Amino acid sequence: MPSSKCSTLALGISMAALLQIAGISLFLFGFFPVKPTLPGFSGSESYQMPSCDSDSNAEMVDLSSEQRKSLYEELSGIPPVYDRLILMVIDGLPAEFILGKGIKPPAKTMAEAMPYTQYLLANELAVGFHAKAAPPTVTMPRLKAMMSGGIGGFLDVAFNFNTQAFLDDNLLDQLYRIGWRMVMLGDNTWIKLFPNLFSRQDGVGSFFVKDTVEVDFNVSRHLDVELAAEDWNLLILHYLGLDHVGHIGGRQSILMAPKLKEMDDIIKEIHMQSITSQKNSNSQTLLVIVSDHGMTEAGNHGGSSYEETDSLALFVGHGIRTTSDGKSVNNEAFQVDIAPTIALLFGVPIPKNNIGVTLTNVFQSLTEEQRLRALELNSWQLLRLLRANLPRLCCDYSSSSTSNLNSGTLLHADSTGINFCIQFAKAVAAHDSWRLQNNSSLRSDYFYIASESYELFLRTASEWLSHRATDKPIHILLVAVVLMFISCLLFVCLTFWLFCNTYNNLWSSEDAFIFIAIILHAISFGSSSFVEEEQYTWHFLTTTLYLIFLFTQIRTFLKGLNGNLSEVVSPIILVLITGRILRGWHQGGINWAHLPDISKLLLQLSPSTITFLHITSILSLSVLYSNSISILKSQFNLVLWLSYLIGACLVLLQSIKNNIANTILVDHGTTWIPQAVYVIGGISVISSLFGLPWFSSVRSKKGIFLGIRECIYDIGSAYVAFWCLLQLLLQQPVNAIPVLLIYMQHQASVSLFADSVSEHKNWVKVAAIYFLGLSGHFGLGNTNSLATIDVAGAFIGISSYSTVLSGILMFCITYASPILSHLSMVMCISTMVDHRVISSKEKFDWRILLESTVAIPSLVPLVVNSVALTSFTVVLLFMRNHLFVWSVFSPKYLYLCASTVSVYLGVLLIAGTVFYTCYVFTMDKRKYQT
């Protein structure tokens, strides 16, 4: 390739990449903006009917906490029901474990594990709610929702790993402003969200998910002292152990029942010491037991399935009664409803950005007047929030009658605002009618009419606010789409230009299928079901491509052009068989994840069985790597092989250690084994990249290009082997066999493409390897739901929490197979060096070399990824108001963005390896000639 054409190609790829990065950044900025919130804190204006003028609470600035508390009690009309609050957060506890599902009671094992809690519910001493959480179902945004009543932005799932101080109006700040003293024990996310509010605190890290004991012991060890203390008003207990149990073994883990029993004993201790003992006391304590989210059968969370959003809200205290129909367990609510309920129970204003609705079941001990007052205050607060979202909304009254609603005001409001004003006016009118029925027998009827009218307005307003799409600047989104489209077009044009200059013959069936596959995959994004079940798309496309390879080889054999069919066909058959096993290993997807598969069957067996398979995979991988390189041919290869064996022995030791400790606490002080694997693997891979070219160039006697080909193959083999070894350390043990199978697929493919009889175009080879990477991605249990991200492995070998390190490990686990495909391409490059290049030891053609080893392996993944990314961006733009935009399309887009990062890293690695190797061999040749 002439230097001018090389420069043109390099410049074109760089421009396309920069345009794509700019387009992605703009689209993310426009589509996932930080949700706007009302500044400041609610004050005395919360107890006044909102007017069309701006509310102000300037008079509150100079009040002391005691003065503010007295003023709130005077204005609210609802005397504080309790004076102390114990908020117990059981991280990851599905409400189904305690309240059952629908009309079904909780599972027998779950109910038996929490006998005291079931006693409280059965005797109507507690009221429980299925408090539906909004996605993303991770801890930090869910704590914000419970404390502020607001729903954060979708990208809070990313901020969950680097929590910042929460500056919006919230319950803790409101309670602090009236002089409350607060104590926090447990998840240190609270300390990061609400710094300087706690008079005492003992935080623990929430991301060491292998720890199921210490994280809870650190909380419970203070319990006796704190329950006896009288210097606090709010005690927060955040237990993480149950969530960690889920991450390790899922809902059916053998650790689940003991952990539930431990939580039940704590609930019993709190109830006996802080509530039962106060029966005849003036001081009253409310115990609120909540969970931030649920968990899937596999124990993960982050998505929007019922299992993940089914969080708990359980109120325990004197005066807590069931409703008139006796319901104490099957009450439906939303997680944001907790904030206004607690605020009104303790006599503080509802946070400004709350969209929750008061849980009237908790107010059954209050008088009818006080219960209607609670609904009225909640309605006023939501009306102010509606006005912030609908600036022309102004529900002004000349009297309380609906018919006298100011018509001049309504003319300036849209239909949505008019409906809200009418519903609110009906509630106000019903409330006024109730007031007029002083001694009437119909007073109770009017009370229920007023209650239902308020609740209708509240639920309608809450639903509208929760589903209201944040303002998306359409002009920014369009510019982003245009940039990405230009980038995609540039990638495609460069690929076709390279294709036309390289291949003069007509397209084969392989070429046509790959082109059609890319188009079909892009079109499939228009269906939410295809997005949810994308694994079927890639399993089908990959299997079909290798079947085409198989038919091509058989046809060649029948024509007499292939004398040894078995050598060429056996790698293809191996890929097809291992692909079928991978497809059945994890059912995957969203809609059919509950169906049986191989991994679920293994998890039902003893842990020793999975450990045996894990050890078998480690040993098998060691044997396969030994066979893939010529150990005795080079001293350097021998050193690499020995370092690999040391790393494999350490991973083997870690596997045995984990099996022994699978039912007890994992000691985080013994992280030296994974850290040693990281060091050995890192040094070995870096040494192979920078050392092998120099060592091979000195010893090569086969000419420069044969030397380059062998060197690149050895470097690629080291990349692939150590990457798979890392995955055997980080992945869940049940994924050990899939890692081995994916390794075998790539080795078989390289063997197939290295056969001189199998004439496949270089771009077909690259596409086939890339397809294997994407099908293997789903074969490891990944889906397009955030719930399948493996958080547990991201903290292996880390002695103290680090957002960067854990984020890197999480990325490596999630994109293990796509990254492996790029590493395998380094091996496959050795099969792409054309015979025209190696025909002469003295004269060689750099054009053909760079075209084969850099341009094609770089462009093909970039094109496939760019077509998928651009087409899905267009789909997301059109689906921005779709019902599934946050549950299906947005998570997939985040996955695509992360996949784009993996592609760029892979391309840089391929180009860097080849250029550096060629540079070393060229320098060595010049030295020899000199």
pLDDT digits (tens, 9 = 90+) for 586-614: 887 777 777 888 988 888 888 888 889 99
In a domain, 501, yes or no: no
Domain shared by 343 and 397, yes or no: no
Domain shared by 385 and 415, yes or no: no
Per DSSP, the residues of 754-822 read H-TTS---HHHHHHHHHHHHHHHHHHTT--SSGGG---GGGGTT-SS--HHHHHHHHHHHHTHHHHHHH
**CA 703 to CA 608: how far, in whole Å?**
52
In the prediction, which pLDDT does 743 show? Answer: 95
Q: Which of 153-157, 301-305, 390-394, 919-923 has the lowest mean pLDDT?
A: 153-157
Domain shared by 408 and 382, yes or no: no
- The residue out of 389, 411, 443 marking a domain boundary is 389
In a domain, 238, yes or no: yes
Q: Which of 231-245, 726-740, 750-764 has the lowest mean pLDDT?
A: 750-764
Most confident of 45-54, 712-721, 755-764: 712-721
Q: Which of 617, 672, 623, 631 is nearest to 650 (CA)?
A: 672
Domain shared by 304 and 402, yes or no: no
Domain shared by 595 and 734, yes or no: yes
- Average pLDDT (95-122) is 91
Sort residue 882 into left (φ over 0), alpha (ψ -120 to 50) or beta: beta
Q: pLDDT tens digit string along 367-408?
A: 889 999 999 999 999 998 888 887 777 776 544 444 455 544
Contacts of 165 (CB under 8 A, 6+ apart): 192, 193, 194, 195
- The residue out of 389, 414, 430 marking a domain boundary is 389
Residue 439 domain boundaries: 393-454
Domain shared by 450 and 349, yes or no: no
In a domain, 521, yes or no: no
Domain shared by 241 and 335, yes or no: yes
**CA 787 to CA 299: how far, in whole Å?**
9
In the prediction, which pLDDT does 636 show? Answer: 79
In the prediction, which pLDDT does 828 show? Answer: 87
Number of domains in the chain: 3
Q: Which of 533, 629, 618 is nearest to 583 (CA)?
A: 533
**8 A C-beta contact, residue 196 and residue 172:** no
Share of the chain above pLDDT 70, in %: 85
The structure's pTM equals 0.76
Q: Which of 862, 899, 861, 896 is nearest to 876 (CA)?
A: 896
340 beta partners: none
Residue with the two structure tokens 């503080």? 348
Q: Do the bridges between strand 285-290 and strand 310-316 make them parallel or antiparallel, or are there none, so unpaired?
A: antiparallel
- Average pLDDT (685-692) is 90
In the prediction, which pLDDT does 585 show? Answer: 92
SS3 204: strand
Reported confidence tier of residue 669, pLDDT bands at 50, 70, 90: very low
In a domain, 564, yes or no: yes
**CA 752 to CA 564: how far, in whole Å?**
13
- CA-only gyration radius of the chain, Å: 32
Reported confidence tier of residue 807, pLDDT bands at 50, 70, 90: confident
Domain shared by 442 and 542, yes or no: no
Domain shared by 150 and 189, yes or no: yes
Residue with the two structure tokens 């063997």? 751
Domain shared by 428 and 540, yes or no: no
**CA 799 to CA 809: how far, in whole Å?**
14
In the prediction, which pLDDT does 321 show? Answer: 67
Contacts of 387 (CB under 8 A, 6+ apart): 50, 393, 394
